[in-house]
C-alpha cells in the first residue's frame, strides 16, 4: 500500500453523482460507494477496511487501528478519553483505544455512544440528522471513574468517516461539562471528507484546539437527481435495555476484554467468516484476528441496521428481525457464505439473529 497525493473517485448512483477528492491511502483500497435507502443522505461510503458492510481481513483492520493510534500519540498532551461512534465505528474505536493504551504512558478512558439503554446512568443525548437511526446516547462513566474523567486533557473522537463534523461538534460542546481540564480534541477517522470544515466546527463546539488524524483527507461533493426517491425503513433507536453482558464496566458500553482464547478452533488454511452483530463488533473482531494469527484464512463483518439498497459492491441484501427485541430490521450485505468452509456468528443477546435462507455451515455462540 502506497500513500499518494490527490486522488479522485466518482460514482454515478441512481440518486445522483458523488465525487471524492482526497489524499492519503488509495481510495480504491479504502472504500467503495453504495446506495442508501435514505432520502436525507442517499449515498453510503462503504469501507473496505472497517469490517462492517464488507468482509474484511482482521489483520488489515488492526493495521488501520495501529496507524491511526501512531498518528495520535505525538499530539497527546496528557490523560485522554476516547469516544467512539456507534454503531459502525465501534470496533474501530475500541481498536484505536487499545492501541493507544498499549503505546502511550498517558492514562486513558474508552467510551462509546450507543443506541441501547442503561439503567441509572446520566446520559448525553444527541442526534445524527443524516443517519438511518438518528438518536444516540453517551452515558457518563460510573462514580469510580469520575476523578479520572476530571483530569482528562485530551478528548479523542473516533468515527469511520466524517463529511461535515456537525454531530461531533454538538457532542464536544455537551462534553465540556464533564471535562473541566479539556485542552485538546483529536478527530480520528478513516476518512475526513469534510473539505476542512470538521476541525473548525469541532473547535467551536469544544472551545479548544483540534487536530485531525485520518488515513485519507479531502472533500466530498454530491449532486442529487431530482427524480429519485426513497422511503427510510423504521430503524430508529428505541433505547431498549442493553443485554445484561453489556452493562458497562467503566465507561465502555460492554466488557470488551477479549477472551484469552477464541471460542472456536480452526485449521491452518481454513476459510472462515466471523460475524458480529450490531454494535457488538470488537470482541468478535478480536476472535477473528486470533484465528487469522493461528493460520486460518479469515474475514470479518457484522450485521447492521444501516439500510442500503442492493447496488454496486453491496449487490445482495439480507433483511431479518433484530436480535435486540427492538422490532427494527437488521441487514447483512453480500456475505457469500458459499465462499467459506465455516461461518462463526458471535452474539451478545440470549439468542442470535435468525438469518434468512440456508446456513448449513453456520455455528453461533454467545459472547461471555
In tens, the pLDDT along 79-124 reads 999 999 988 999 999 999 999 999 999 989 999 888 877 767 778 8
Structure confidence by residue, pLDDT tens digits, 279-291: 899 999 999 999 9
Cα separation, 367 vs 177, in Å, equals 35
Structure confidence by residue, pLDDT tens digits, 314-330: 999 999 998 888 888 89
Contacts of 227 (CB under 8 A, 6+ apart): none
Mean pLDDT on 341-352: 92
3-class SS shares of the chain: helix, strand, coil, % to 5: 25, 35, 40
Cα separation, 224 vs 321, in Å, equals 31
Structure confidence by residue, pLDDT tens digits, 306-316: 889 999 999 99
pLDDT at 43: 94
pLDDT at 76: 97
Cα separation, 159 vs 192, in Å, equals 9
DSSP E strand stretches across 242-304: 271-276, 297-302
| Helix or strand run (H / E) with residue 283 | helix 282-293
Q: Are 280 and 347 in contact (CB under 8 A)?
A: yes
Q: Are 287 and 264 in contact (CB under 8 A)?
A: yes
Task: Spell out the SS3 assignment of 79-99.
Answer: CEEEEECCCCCHHHHHHHHHH
pLDDT at 130: 46
Cα separation, 165 vs 206, in Å, equals 12
Q: What is the pTM of this model?
A: 0.92
Cα separation, 359 vs 337, in Å, equals 8
Domains and CATH numbers, the chain: 13-50+63-224 (3.40.50.2020)
Contacts of 159 (CB under 8 A, 6+ apart): 84, 85, 89, 93, 168, 187, 188, 189
Confidence of residue 37 (pLDDT cuts 50, 70, 90): confident
pLDDT at 234: 60
For residue 303, which of 354, 234, 361 has the smallest C-alpha distance?
Answer: 354
Structure confidence by residue, pLDDT tens digits, 204-259: 999 999 999 999 999 999 999 988 887 766 656 555 665 544 444 446 654 455 55
Beta bridge partners of 297: 271
CA distances from 335 to 142, 272, 313, 339, 359 (A): 38, 11, 11, 9, 11
pLDDT at 16: 95
Mean pLDDT on 22-32: 96
Task: Please measure the distance between the N-terminal and C-terminal CA atoms of the chain and give it in whole angstroms.
Answer: 37
Mean pLDDT on 148-158: 95
| Helix or strand run (H / E) with residue 204 | helix 198-206
**How much of the chain, in percent, has pLDDT values that exceed 90?**
65
pLDDT at 328: 84
Amino acid at each position: 500500500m502506497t500513500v499518494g497525493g490527490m486522488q479522485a473517485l466518482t460514482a454515478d448512483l441512481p440518486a445522483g453523482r458523488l465525487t471524492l477528492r482526497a489524499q492519503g491511502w488509495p481510495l480504491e483500497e479504502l472504500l467503495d460507494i453504495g446506495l442508501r435507502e435514505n432520502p436525507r443522505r442517499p449515498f453510503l461510503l462503504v469501507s473496505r477496511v472497517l469490517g462492517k458492510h464488507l468482509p474484511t481481513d482482521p489483520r488489515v483492520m488492526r493495521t488501520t487501528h495501529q496507524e491511526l493510534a501512531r498518528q495520535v500519540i505525538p499530539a497527546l498532551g496528557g490523560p485522554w478519553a476516547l469516544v467512539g461512534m456507534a454503531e459502525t465505528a465501534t470496533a474501530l474505536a475500541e481498536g484505536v483505544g487499545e492501541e493507544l493504551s498499549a503505546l502511550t504512558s498517558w492514562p486513558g478512558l474508552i467510551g462509546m455512544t450507543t443506541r441501547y439503554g442503561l439503567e441509572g446512568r446520566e446520559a448525553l443525548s444527541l442526534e445524527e440528522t443524516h443517519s438511518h437511526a438518528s438518536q444516540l446516547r453517551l452515558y457518563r462513566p460510573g462514580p469510580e471513574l469520575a476523578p479520572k474523567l476530571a483530569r482528562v486533557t485530551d478528548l479523542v473522537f473516533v468515527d469511520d468517516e466524517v463529511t461535515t463534523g456537525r454531530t461531533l461538534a454538538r457532542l464536544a460542546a455537551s462534553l465540556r461539562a464533564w471535562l473541566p481540564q479539556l485542552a485538546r480534541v483529536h478527530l480520528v477517522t478513516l476518512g475526513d471528507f469534510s473539505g476542512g470544515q470538521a476541525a473548525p466546527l469541532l473547535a467551536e463546539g469544544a472551545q479548544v484546539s483540534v487536530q485531525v488524524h485520518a488515513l485519507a483527507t479531502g472533500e466530498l461533493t454530491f449532486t442529487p437527481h431530482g427524480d429519485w426517491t426513497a422511503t427510510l425503513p423504521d430503524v430508529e433507536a428505541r433505547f431498549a435495555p442493553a443485554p445484561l453482558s453489556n452493562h458497562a464496566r467503566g465507561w465502555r458500553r460492554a466488557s470488551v476484554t477479549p477472551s484469552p482464547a477464541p471460542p472456536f478452533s480452526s485449521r491452518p488454511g481454513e476459510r472462515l467468516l466471523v460475524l458480529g452483530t450490531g454494535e457488538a463488533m470488537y470482541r468478535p473482531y478480536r476472535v477473528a484476528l486470533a484465528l487469522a494469527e493461528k493460520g486460518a484464512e479469515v474475514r470479518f463483518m457484522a450485521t447492521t441496521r444501516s439500510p442500503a439498497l442492493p447496488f454496486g459492491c453491496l449487490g445482495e441484501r439480507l433483511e431479518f428481525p433484530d436480535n435486540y427485541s427492538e422490532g427494527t430490521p437488521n441487514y447483512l450485505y453480500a456475505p457469500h457464505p458459499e465462499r467459506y468452509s465455516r461461518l462463526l456468528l458471535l452474539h451478545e443477546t440470549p439468542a442470535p439473529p435468525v438469518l434468512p435462507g440456508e446456513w448449513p455451515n453456520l455455528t453461533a455462540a454467545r459472547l461471555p
